[in-house]
């Protein structure tokens, strides 16, 4: 009886350890990939990217035995390493970005921070806004106004992608309006601010699908999302091209001055 009891206790741990071990053994491959420098041939880098893509496909399909969030966290950390390796990304591009989020959001669709990285990496850098939007739409099926907290941001990220990278003002209007609706259900200052700005952006788009104000508002969101310096410079250029101005306050925040006419 005691033997059976011990077996019942240890078996789940052994199974979980084996499953996680299979996945974790693969992580050094990414470390090898991100440590590559200019001396490595492009052909070699491309082969390693294919290998990393296969690893991500495996992680997407393998059973987790209730360790979904743990796997999502590990893959997100790997994504940050991949995305932050500018030297290699300048040579190979960012094509794996959506593949990381296929794993992350499949395992943990309520991982709020992942959606922000998804929008920047996949739409802006990888040039795949359709993939980013599709992943957001799939994840939104698991979200509600209060789960997770501040989930209204996902609708804003989606609206930014639809407006700035696809030019789909109708879809963006719906996303910003939904963000405003979800945020309005909470009384804290941040939620109320998001509700107001999202509602204004939706109104701009309802009056004028080509609204410069709406586009500037969306680029302002990109600018203020704690993104890297390159993305900040891109956002500032886009805002100025639309006739707006970016003024950095003494406190280090960005103040946006809209053009006289929309």
Q: What are 152-185's pLDDT values in tens digits?
A: 999 999 999 999 999 999 999 999 999 999 999 9
Integer Cα distance of 168 and 129 in angstroms:
11
Predicted local distance difference test score (pLDDT) of residue 30: 54
CA distance 130 to 114: 17
* Phi and psi torsions of 247, nearest 5°: -115, 125
| Residue 178 confidence (pLDDT) | 98
* Residue spans of the chain under pLDDT 70: 1-39, 226
Taking the C-alpha atoms of residue 3 and residue 215, their distance in angstroms, rounded to an integer, is 67
Report the pLDDT value the prediction gives residue 100, as an integer from 0 to 100: 97
d(CA 89, CA 45): 10
| Rounded alpha-carbon distances, angstroms, from residue 225 to 44, 99, 231, 235 | 34, 22, 10, 11
pLDDT at 18: 45
14-25 pLDDT, tens digit each: 445 444 554 454
145, two tokens: 């106004």
According to the model, what pLDDT value does residue 29 have?
53
pLDDT of residue 28: 55
């Amino acid at each position: 009886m005691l033997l059976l009891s011990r077996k019942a206790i240890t078996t789940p741990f052994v199974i979980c350890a084996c499953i996680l071990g299979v996945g974790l053994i693969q992580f050094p491959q990414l470390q090898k990939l991100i440590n590559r420098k200019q001396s490595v041939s492009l052909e070699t880098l491309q082969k390693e990217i294919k290998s990393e893509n296969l690893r991500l496909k495996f992680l997407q399909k393998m059973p987790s035995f209730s360790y979904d969030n743990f796997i999502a966290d590990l893959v997100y950390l790997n994504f940050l390493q991949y995305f932050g390796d500018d030297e290699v990304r300048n040579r190979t591009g960012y094509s794996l970005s959506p593949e990381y989020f296929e794993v992350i959001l499949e395992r943990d669709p309520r991982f709020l921070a992942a959606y922000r990285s998804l929008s920047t990496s996949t739409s802006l850098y990888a040039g795949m806004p359709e993939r980013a939007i599709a992943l957001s739409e799939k994840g939104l099926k698991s979200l509600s106004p209060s789960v997770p907290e501040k989930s209204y941001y996902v609708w804003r990220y989606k609206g930014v992608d639809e407006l700035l990278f696809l030019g789909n003002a109708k879809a963006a209007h719906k996303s910003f309006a939904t963000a405003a609706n979800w945020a309005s259900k909470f009384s804290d200052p941040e939620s109320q601010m998001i509700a107001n700005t999202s509602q204004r952006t939706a109104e701009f788009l309802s009056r004028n699908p080509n609204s410069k104000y709406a586009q500037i508002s969306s680029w302002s969101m990109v600018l203020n999302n704690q993104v890297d310096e390159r993305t900040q410079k891109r956002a500032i250029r886009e805002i100025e091209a639309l006739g707006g101005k970016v003024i950095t306050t003494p406190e280090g925040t960005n103040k946006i001055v809209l053009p006289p006419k929309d």
